[in-house]
Structure 1
Amino acid sequence: MTRYLISFDDGAMTFPEEELPEVAEASLEVVRKARDAAVWVFGGGLERQQASVVSTDGTVTNGPYPETKAVLGGFAIIDVPSREDALEWAAKIAAACRCAQEVREIMADPTV
């Protein structure tokens, strides 16, 4: 099995705010299905623009950042047999969240 990161950018969810409960329930349903299928590893939404950047010298810069900086809005990590399976789960998440999803393979760690 291979792990994949499925993610979307902050601001990609552009539906009206009053639809948030419906979108949240649809998203949770996909998570339930992924758990039932034993492919869910971990995931969640991220607080908007609240990242801290730690430089190589240890200097910490805290957000919020200007709107021009790309920021991750949410993610899921799944463990599936193939990229095609990952793309199918990403399609389910995209439909539930009402926004496009990026899919990236997580490099295997041979020591784990």
Structure 2
Amino acid sequence: MVAVVVLVGELLALALLLSASSAHAAGVSLAIAGSVEEVLNNVRAWLMGILAGLATVFLTLGGVRRVFGGGDPGEQEKAKEAFKSAGIGYALAALAPLVITVLKGIVGA
């Protein structure tokens, strides 16, 4: 049974490798953004999304620990730490536009 699973995995990997087309550097434009300001706006959006996503994960973990911790003081303390981490993450996500504004001032965009 394990041999069949390994064989199927190897066949899938081989099929992916054979179907991949080779990339040619000639004529390929890597820069899609038109200006530095556009790049910084994209960085801001990604930064806010990642920070808010991580903060949501910590908020969820804190809630799960709080609910399933019962009366265990250790679990309640870990839940509080997770809630603090979520708050810090949301605060940093809210401050991301300010950081990008400072970066725009530094690079002159």
TM-score normalised by the chain length of structure 1: 0.27
Which structure: greater helix fraction?
2
Structure with greater contact order relative to length (CA < 8 Å, sep ≥ 6): 1
Larger radius of gyration: 2
Higher strand share: 1
TM-score, structure 2 length as denominator? 0.27
